Amino acid sequence: MNYEQYQKLYSANKKANAKTIKSILSTEYSQIRDLIAVVEETMTSSINAGDQSSIESLNSMVSHILAMSKACDKLASIVNTISMESRNLDDAIFKLGATIDNAIVHVSTETYANAGDYLLVKSLRQLIEKNSGKKSWIRLNVQKEINQGIIDSINKSKALVIGGGGLFLKDTNQNEISGWQWPIPKEMIHQIQVPIYILGVGYNRFRNQEDFEPYFYENITALVEKSTFFGLRNHGSVNAVKAFLPDHLKDKVQYFPCATTVISKLFDIKFEEPDRPIIAINCAFDREILRFGNRKDYILSSIAKTAKTLSSDYDILCYLHCEPDFEMCSYMDNYGVPYGIVKLYESGNENEMIEAYSLPRLVIGMRGHSQMVAFGCGTPTLSIISHDKIQWFLDDVYHPEWGIDVNEERFDSLLSEKADNMLTHSEEIKKDISKSQDELWQIFQNTLATFK
């Protein structure tokens, strides 16, 4: 098998599984929808009927509910069977791919469901290839459970790359094996015989989130010890991870930014200036208590009110990295903001995502990759800091003033003031971004000089 054949086989498998599952959902779920309609009709009729009729209606409703449960079980069973078959086929394709000459196994969060995760994977590979030539990338999902066969296949490849993304987080793919997103036992880490490169990974523990379990300490120690290069995407992550390690390993943890921060140097950015200037807004809604505390409505209402004011001079667009980001739209509606919606997670095309973040005069962003991708495209960004990683990035590029913390007492007025100031000084900020990108690029060049 050559790399081109692997890519075709990998893509065909993914498309086939998605098509099959979609077909089952559309046919089997229609039965459930019909049953729900019958139950609703039965409930309505039982409310308006006499006693005997109500009993008959209730019996009918119970039978339909039981049928609905069976339909759900059948649907779950079919999808689970396909998933099992898919995992077996995924393993077979992976093992074939790992035997390709100079194959590099890439453990990542490659997904279409989150635009940031999708683009960071594309950007990292582009960064490596820009510096050291074309590679044969063999994909391995970060959430996949590892077995001896996978380890044996990794050892047949040229190297193992892990990253980027906020992989050091305990409650995404929660497991008792590693304590972070990749569930690989420390014993299997020790079995890996090829060079291991951790590139642009982030320590993503939220503020006030419970700490990692003891087995995370052991696992991360084994990974650092075994790694050829261990690079984290901001100095905050570097310092946080060092705290888990014995002294003799601390110096192995290095700074290696996310590749999305230099998108302008990796891709040809082509777009036409919009007729009316744009302001893009992105907010995040996972782990709301950890993000907002009891200030959620205040924070999001403040963002909507600022957007309303700015809409007199700018077109407002809500950028959605994943489906839950839709929630911001309800706040925009509440305050009568005229806005458009851009579903970045539906694109599946890095050029379209890059163009989207190159267009705005200003991005007001809460997600880490609304911040870093915009920066990488040279677009001024006002960062909403609900996670320490957002502040860590601003500190790394020496511009903490480009952010506002959700815990600021005067968040609403500060948001408006900072937005106005950044719009006024847009051209100066773009020059600062370009200068920072040159510095980040040099870091990449120095590190990747040894990556062959």
What is the secondary structure of 161-206 as a DSSP string? EE-SEEEE-SSSS--SSSSSSS---HHHHHH--S-EEEEEEEE-PP
What integer pLDDT is reported at residue 6 of this predicted model?
80
Question: Dihedral through CA 334, CA 338, CA 344, CA 350, nearest 10?
Answer: -150
CB 161 within 8 A of CB 107: yes
What integer pLDDT is reported at residue 57 of this predicted model?
62
- Domain 102-256, what fold? Rossmann fold (3.40.50)
- Phi then psi for residue 252, to 5 deg, are -75, -15
Q: Which residue ranges in the chain fall short of pLDDT 70?
A: 1, 15-33, 35, 39-40, 42-88, 452
- Residue 230: in which H helix or E strand, if any? strand 229-232
Torsion 27-31-36-42 (CA) sign: positive
CA–CA distance, 187 with 130 (Å, rounded to integer): 34
Question: Dihedral through CA 318, CA 322, CA 327, CA 329, nearest 10?
Answer: 20
- Phi then psi for residue 234, to 5 deg, are -155, 160
CA–CA distance, 296 with 288 (Å, rounded to integer): 8
In the three-class reduction of DSSP (H, G, I as helix; E, B as strand; rest coil), residue 452 is classed as coil
| Residue 373: HSE in the Cβ half-sphere, 13 Å Cα cutoff | 35
Tokens encoding 117:
């995760």
What integer pLDDT is reported at residue 45 of this predicted model?
66
In the three-class reduction of DSSP (H, G, I as helix; E, B as strand; rest coil), residue 323 is classed as helix
What integer pLDDT is reported at residue 68 of this predicted model?
67
CB 341 within 8 A of CB 398: no
CA–CA distance, 231 with 254 (Å, rounded to integer): 5
Torsion 170-400-249-153 (CA) sign: positive
**CB-based burial label for 74 (10 Å; 0-12, 13-18, 19+):** middle
What letter represents residue 166's amino acid? Answer: G
Q: Distance between terminal CA atoms of the chain?
A: 22
Tokens encoding 388:
């320490």
What letter represents residue 125's amino acid? Answer: R
pTM for the complete prediction? 0.84
Question: Dihedral through CA 384, CA 290, CA 330, CA 352, nearest 10?
Answer: 50
CA–CA distance, 292 with 385 (Å, rounded to integer): 10
CB 326 within 8 A of CB 288: no
Nearest to 106 by CA among 38, 23, 196: 196
What integer pLDDT is reported at residue 285 of this predicted model?
92
CATH superfamily of 267-438: Glycogen Phosphorylase B; (3.40.50.2000)
Residues in Cβ contact with 266 at an 8 Å cutoff, skipping those fewer than 6 apart: 123, 126, 127, 130, 259
Tokens encoding 311:
């809409």
In the three-class reduction of DSSP (H, G, I as helix; E, B as strand; rest coil), residue 406 is classed as coil
